[in-house]
Homo-oligomer: A and B are copies of this chain.
Amino acid sequence: MTTPGIFKIQAVDGLARCGQYWTASGSFETPNFMPVGTQATVKGLTPERLKEIGTQIILSNTYHLYLRPGEKLIQSLGGLHKFMNWDRPILTDSGGFQVFSLAKLRKITDDGVRFQSHIDGQIQILTPEKVVQIQEALGVDIMMTLDECLGYPATQLAAKKSLELTLKWAERASAARSKKETLAFGIVQGGMFADLRKYAASEISKIPFDGYAIGGVSVGEPLELMREITKISAENLPDDKIKYLMGVGTPIDIVESVALGVDLFDCVMPTRCARFGRLFTETGHINIRNSKYKEDSLGIDPECDCYTCRNYSRAYLAHLLRANEVLYIELASLHNLRFYQRLVWRIREAIKVGYFKKFADEFVRKQKKDEEC
């Protein structure tokens, strides 16, 4: 078995790269997209379904699993893979983002973050060390270090202070690691300031992580700014390491970020949009709630090969959604996630044959209706 943490780049096309990354639960190809399984389940889909659509790695969440059912319980039952019946790689987000988006009464100190659980109101404390311990107990393949996720907009001073804290926490997280098979990624913060991002990327690169992530984007900033910050962050990270853009994004975001050198993505968009009725197609999304689909005998996307498109009409999906039927969630999520998996597969194939720019231009042109949901 190849050592966990090895990243082999097999082809480069402009800044875009195609490669393979090894973990203790096997490898995944890059660029890749991780479906989000926040609470130890990708909403509505079994692990078999995820494999059927080509999923190689999923993301779960430290904050949520720590609060419920608790990492010790999961550990006692054999770890997160066994608990949720998923034997391929798992990456867990550190919980930094969730502490800032979900928890109440949070108070950040140099030591860590104190907050009130959004589930039962209990006071909890997370430190960089504790977040490492939780993820090691969960037995995940890749852990993220605790970071402070800044809102948008923020002043340069606040961004500077925040990235310094994140860097300090990253040092402590690195020092706290006790299992070498649990890989760890450091996170670049720095708000929307190019010079801070450049500094943060070069500083985090000095800590020996198994990969590096770009955090704190897609927090409300304009699209052009997100691209610029992604670019400066990515180009200041070491090229021989995997680069992960956290919480991004639309199909167009993925294509355009791969063009900036990003290797790995996660986003709730395909599953969340599915539940709201937004379904992705080659020519942009459709909203299945639109009354024009009520009698439409076509599948969601004529170009899609997923189970849903092979077997069900838009009219049936429109009916299930109106009737508030739970099967809708499975069928719609399956389609949207298959769309993302087909997208990263096509991106990889395009990079391998030096055709990425043409593929990207053509894809973006056709996705003219794409927008956030």
Q: Which of A325-372 contact B (CB under 8 A)?
A: 325-327, 329-331
* Cβ–Cβ contact B77 & A313, under 8 A: yes
8 Å CB contacts to B: which residues of A220-272?
none
B residues within 8 A CB of A287?
none
Copy count, this protein chain: 2
Residue of B at shortest CB range from A85? B311
Q: How far is the CA of A320 from the CA of B64 in the complex (A)?
A: 12
Which of B41, B85, B319, B326 is in CB contact (< 8 Å) with A68?
B319
The answer to whether B76 touches A316 (Cβ under 8 A) is no
Q: Which of A274-320 contact B (CB under 8 A)?
A: 294-295, 297, 307, 311-313, 315-316, 318-320
Interface size of A by CB at 8 A reads: 37
A44 → chain B closest CB, angstroms: 5
Residues of B within 8 A of A294 (CB): 69, 73
The answer to whether A325 and B43 have CB atoms under 8 Å apart is yes
CA distance A327 to B271 in the complex (A): 13
A83 on the B face (CB < 8 A): yes
Q: How far is the CA of A339 from the CA of B308 in the complex (A)?
A: 27
Known A41-B323, A68-B323, A330-B330; further 7 A-B contacts with Cβ < 8 A: A41-B325, A46-B330, A68-B319, A69-B322, A77-B295, A77-B297, A83-B316
